[in-house]
Structure 1
Amino acid sequence: MRMPRRAVKNLSFKEFSSVEEFRRHWDSKSSSAISIEDKLPIHLHWTNRQAENTVICFSAASSKVREVPFWTGRGVTSALDANVLLVSDPSMILDRTLSLGWYAGSLEQPDLIETLTEVFRVVSQGTRPIFFGASAGGWAALKYAARLDGAVAVAVNPQVDIARYKYFPYYLRKAWKTEDGSECLPFEGNVARDYAEGNDTSVVYVQNEGDSHHFIEHFTTFKSTCGNPDKLIELLPDLGPGHVAPTKESLIQILETTIASRSASELRTNLSCIEIKSSGVNNEVKVSGSSFRSSEALNRRYPVLLEKKYNLSPSIRVCTVGIKSPVHLLAKAYAIEVHFDGVEIEKAIARKLGLSWSAGLHCAFFYSQEAPGRAWTTYDSFRIPEAATGVHIVVRQWRQEGLGENRKDSVHLYCKFDSFQIEA
């Protein structure tokens, strides 16, 4: 089921019809929101401070993005002695459930990396570009810094090989319409290889030691591959378990120090004096709902026990689902997905129909209620969208406790007067 695209905010953009027009007519003197027409629109926000450095900010993943552009970095850059370019990932417009795209492009915009590289080259002309981002934005900071002479990357808990990250399969499906893996993409997903041949870019790599996945799977990969260790500055604070970022104040200190330092050796010395404090926030928790996992991992954790599809006559506008178990059934034993043929459903519509919405499952759903043994338990009815021609029910095992082996629970879909069994 294809989800609607994100809408574009009603902002006052300085508009360019192409990247070529932007290159020819870009004027850095005024600060403004910028829209560059491409296969997908490129949205930027430029702040000119007539400085010698230009900080280019990329966003991490977020499940709360309703419209584009989605810019982050205003807070940490507001007082810097630097020009600032905020960059919204064009791929975020593709699907409302897509929470990250690494600024790596899509099937609709396969040459995004080349395109943005040219944009950044134009914007940072005559200044030193400093690319800044965390997590998925950290990958982008590393990727683009490697492509511009004299650049610096400040990457915080970045992914290095995006194919090793659990949200990558979902990005593949939504952005590239494939599940074939990273080898099918027109770019190198392991950004460490961009630095393997002694790239002269200075890298400030901030990695929380308590984030075991990013430390082992990503940081060690980058460190072992980096061909110019003199340009790699490692900052390895212990910020607590999980994908925990430094405080805003710590990030500001890191950026201020990077701006003030003129060489890699000076930067290394100056950064060694900074105490990096923990924000205490596991940023991965925020996105786990919307960019859940690969379908294989999801099905392993919450196995599909039953799927049924039914055609709906125009007269059927309400469905009710009931469950009967031979033994006492705990609440939330099952999650029941509800899909409709011929209609695209989003969160607001699901609620109007009397259903909940799962950003993790990317569909309308409800949990099974507690049910006494051998008795039917019925649920609040959900309405059928007017244009729906069919309903597709998917029953997942949601919790393990209380579900013994070789039991058979029954599900009844009242709109069809039909019942079927779950093999639990």
Structure 2
Amino acid sequence: MVWTSVADLRVDGRQRHIVKPEDEHRLTLDVLLEPRDSDTLIVALHGALNRDVYTPPRFEWMGTLAGRKESVLFLSDPTITLSERLRLAWYVGNASDNIPERYAQLIRTAAVQCGATRVLFFGFSGGGFAALSLAAVMPGSIGIAFSPQTSIGSYYEQFSDMFAEDVFPECRDYADVEATYGSRVSLLARYANAAPDTTFLYAQNTGDTHHMRRHYEPFRELTEGRAGAHFRLREDSDGHTVPPKEYLLEILDECASGDLQPASPREASLSL
């Protein structure tokens, strides 16, 4: 179904919903919703897209989440449609369109119509960034992030430079983007002012040294000790790889149960 505004959206079984505003300067939201008889809505977010293989929209985690009892909402990042070479855009939007805020409106609408009172955001890498960003935008939700970036500027320069050039061409460079849109491109800025009980579970592969040092450590230092902050450390590989399906579902089950546990002694010993 195609809608001109989020307020018009109506849920009627498993369906793709496209929100195409009449304002040509705003991006088109594209989602796939699978409503189920549950009080929980899982929002699935994608990471980098190989543009030689995939064409937007991208609905990631369909295999992993198949058979779940919760309702599931798959979000495609419209930001990557701004350029054919963009592989990763972190659900940021552009100068004319704050995508985290607009998607939050859509999620609230979908949750109400699905009968869901709890929202879980779920993503890896760039999708993990979006999960944590949206959790801060939507109080009462839970962000579940696996080895996410926490600052676009701390990621590999080729990605941040391309992002700045193609998404914010009015800015001089990435530094100008961050100075102008701080909380949208840096979770350190977003969480510096987030509600102290913003809830998230951040699961990091300790073998991914880039994300451990440049993303996990600064974010944990900022948020350690907050009521809603939960961290999990384990070694899955020597690089930036998706965790095993069993672990993904184990973490998801823990968050869906509403009974988040503190870090294990081993994880605590690995913390800052």
Normalising by structure 2, report the TM-score.
0.85
Q: 1:37 matched to which residue of 2? A: 20
Q: 1:184 matched to which residue of 2? A: 180
Q: 2 CA distance for matches of 1:111 and 1:95?
A: 17
Native 8 Å contact 1:196 1:225 kept in 2: yes
* Per-residue deviation, 1:19: 2.5
For residues 23-422 of structure 1, what are the structure 2 equivalents within 5 Å?
26-27=10-11, 29-38=12-21, 39-64=26-51, 65-107=53-95, 109-125=96-112, 126-166=116-156, 167-177=159-169, 178-180=171-173, 181=175, 182-185=178-181, 187-197=183-193, 198-226=195-223, 228-259=225-256, 261-262=257-258, 266-268=259-261
Q: Which amino acid aligns with 2:144?
A: V
Query: SS where residue 203 of structure 1 aligns?
Result: strand
Native 8 Å contact 1:110 1:186 kept in 2: no
* Per-residue deviation, 1:149: 2.2
* Per-residue deviation, 1:236: 0.7
* Per-residue deviation, 1:193: 3.4
* Per-residue deviation, 1:228: 4.8
Q: 2 CA distance for matches of 1:92 and 1:193?
A: 23
Native 8 Å contact 2:197 2:226 kept in 1: no
Q: 2 CA distance for matches of 1:81 and 1:221?
A: 35
From the two aligned structures, give the one with the greater strand fraction. Answer: 1
* Per-residue deviation, 1:18: 1.9
Structure 1 unaligned residues grouped into runs of 5+:
1-13, 273-424
| Identity across the alignment (%) | 27
From the two aligned structures, give the one with the greater helix fraction. Answer: 2
Query: SS where residue 154 of structure 1 aligns?
Result: strand
Q: 2 CA distance for matches of 1:112 and 1:43?
A: 12
Structure 2 unaligned residues grouped into runs of 5+:
265-272
Native 8 Å contact 1:89 1:101 kept in 2: yes
Distance 1:61 1:179, change over 3 A: farther
Query: SS where residue 67 of structure 1 aligns?
Result: coil
Q: 2 CA distance for matches of 1:111 and 1:235?
A: 30
For residues 180-207 of structure 1, the C-alpha deviation after alignment (integer angstroms, 9 at most, x for no partner) is: 2221337442213333355312211110
Q: Which amino acid aligns with 2:261?
A: R
Q: 1 CA distance for matches of 2:190 and 2:197?
A: 11
* Per-residue deviation, 1:68: 1.8
* Per-residue deviation, 1:102: 0.2
Query: SS where residue 32 of structure 2 aligns?
Result: strand
Q: Which amino acid aligns with 2:255?
A: T
Query: SS where residue 261 of structure 2 aligns?
Result: helix
Normalising by structure 1, report the TM-score.
0.56
* Per-residue deviation, 1:179: 4.1
Native 8 Å contact 1:208 1:245 kept in 2: no
Q: 1 CA distance for matches of 2:43 and 2:225?
A: 23
Native 8 Å contact 1:199 1:228 kept in 2: no
Query: SS where residue 267 of structure 1 aligns?
Result: coil
For residues 207-264 of structure 1, the C-alpha deviation after alignment (integer angstroms, 9 at most, x for no partner) is: 01111111111111111111653322211111222212211222122112221x22xx
Q: 2 CA distance for matches of 1:245 and 1:231?
A: 24
Query: SS where residue 93 of structure 2 aligns?
Result: coil
Q: 2 CA distance for matches of 1:61 and 1:251?
A: 18
Query: SS where residue 137 of structure 2 aligns?
Result: coil
Q: How many residues align?
A: 250
For residues 360-411 of structure 1, the C-alpha deviation after alignment (integer angstroms, 9 at most, x for no partner) is: xxxxxxxxxxxxxxxxxxxxxxxxxxxxxxxxxxxxxxxxxxxxxxxxxxxx
